[in-house]
Amino acid sequence: MPWRTVADGAPRGRTRTRRRAVRRVAPPPLYAGCALFLDIDGTLLDLAPTPDRVRVDADVATLLPALWLRLGGAVALITGRAMADAERLFPGVALPIAGQHGLERRAADGSIGRHERSAPGFARLRRELERFAARHEGLLLEDKGATLAMHYRQAPGLASHVHRTLRAQLAAATGVAAWHLQPGKGILEITPDGHDKGTAIREYMMEQPFRGRVPVFVGDDRTDEYGFGAVTHLGGWAIKVGAGGTCARFRLADVAAVRRWLTAALVPTESPASETA
């Protein structure tokens, strides 16, 4: 079958990390030896009905460069948004960014790598989904360049219909056998195999200034489970924001809690080595 839905944080054919309900455990304080990876929507910024309606306040725009300085440049944004879209949210904040779940990535040295979509049936699939979205109020199809995302946060009653329709459309499409469906919060994305937030983090961890540090990833939904699995495998900290089953060891209650935890990292501690325990 040319489609499959990823619902447990790992596609078939790759090592799965079990998602489970865990008690809320606050993460240790960040320290100078960490490499910090941050999701955006639902983690740094509160969710909004549509991607273009999120609110970026001055506090978080100031927080990111301060963290970059505190951690010696080892801070990156890991997002499902297109990289250009993430840059528009934080103008003047030139952090490394992995966009579209790692399909495009700006390294710390400023170099950019992109994995362009090449499936011959992709344009036709996009047109079919555009027509589907136009028939249903509250649906929004977002073409990110390398992936397609159907947003149904404004029409939650259509969730099952959206999932069934996209499965059928992807199954009927030709030339997109290596693509899968990736669910999130009020969103269902069509993405190619082989690239996710976990692979993006692993790529950063092979580069300076991330190499040799303790990787820390903070995220809030199913797409972030890839990143949680990657940092856990590398001996780092996986931090889930909000409720829900997860493979992450640590939790923060909401976006406000994430910001408080990050802000606390700007105050130097006397014995950072003890914080890794």
Lowest-pLDDT range, 189-198, 221-230, 231-240?
189-198
> Both 93 and 203 in a single domain?
yes
> Both 188 and 199 in a single domain?
no
> Both 210 and 163 in a single domain?
no
**Higher pLDDT, residue 225 or 12:** 225
> Both 254 and 218 in a single domain?
yes
Bridging pattern class, strands 237-241 and 250-252: parallel
User: For residue range 7-48, what is the model confidence (pLDDT) as tens digits?
Assistant: 333 333 344 445 554 456 999 999 999 999 999 999 999 998
pLDDT of residue 9: 38
Helix (H, G, I), strand (E, B) or coil at 97: strand
Q: Please confirm, yes or no, whether 39 is among the known catalytic residues.
A: yes
Of the residues 175, 192, 209, the one at which a domain ends? 192
Mean pLDDT along residues 89-102: 91
Is the CB of residue 255 less than 8 Å from the CB of residue 241?
A: yes
Asked if the structure places residue 134 within a domain, the reply is yes
> Both 110 and 200 in a single domain?
yes
Give the span between the Cα atoms of 175 and 120, in whole angstroms: 5
Mean pLDDT along residues 226-243: 97
Of the residues 192, 217, 234, the one at which a domain ends? 192
Residue 275 scores a pLDDT above 60: no
Q: What percent of the chain has pLDDT over 90?
A: 63
Is the CB of residue 30 less than 8 Å from the CB of residue 36?
A: yes
Mean pLDDT along residues 81-106: 92
Of the residues 192, 224, 246, the one at which a domain ends? 192
Mean of per-residue pLDDT scores for the chain: 86
Asked if the structure places residue 3 within a domain, the reply is no
> Both 176 and 64 in a single domain?
no
CATH of the domain at 151: 3.30.70.1020
Asked if the structure places residue 29 within a domain, the reply is no
> Both 58 and 178 in a single domain?
no
Is the CB of residue 241 less than 8 Å from the CB of residue 220?
A: yes
CATH of the domain at 248: 3.40.50.1000
Positive or negative: CA dihedral 73, 79, 84, 86:
negative
Catalytic site residue from 39, 85, 221, 224: 39
Asked if the structure places residue 151 within a domain, the reply is yes
> Both 100 and 145 in a single domain?
no
Q: For residue 10, how many C-alpha atoms fall within 13 Å in the half-sphere facing its CB? A: 15
> Both 150 and 53 in a single domain?
no
Q: How many domains does the chain divide into?
A: 2
Residue partners of 89: CB distance under 8 A and separation at least 6: 40, 45, 54, 56, 81
DSSP state string for 104-117: EEE-TTS-EEE---
> Both 110 and 99 in a single domain?
yes
Give the span between the Cα atoms of 258 and 255, in whole angstroms: 5
Domain carrying residue 141: 122-192
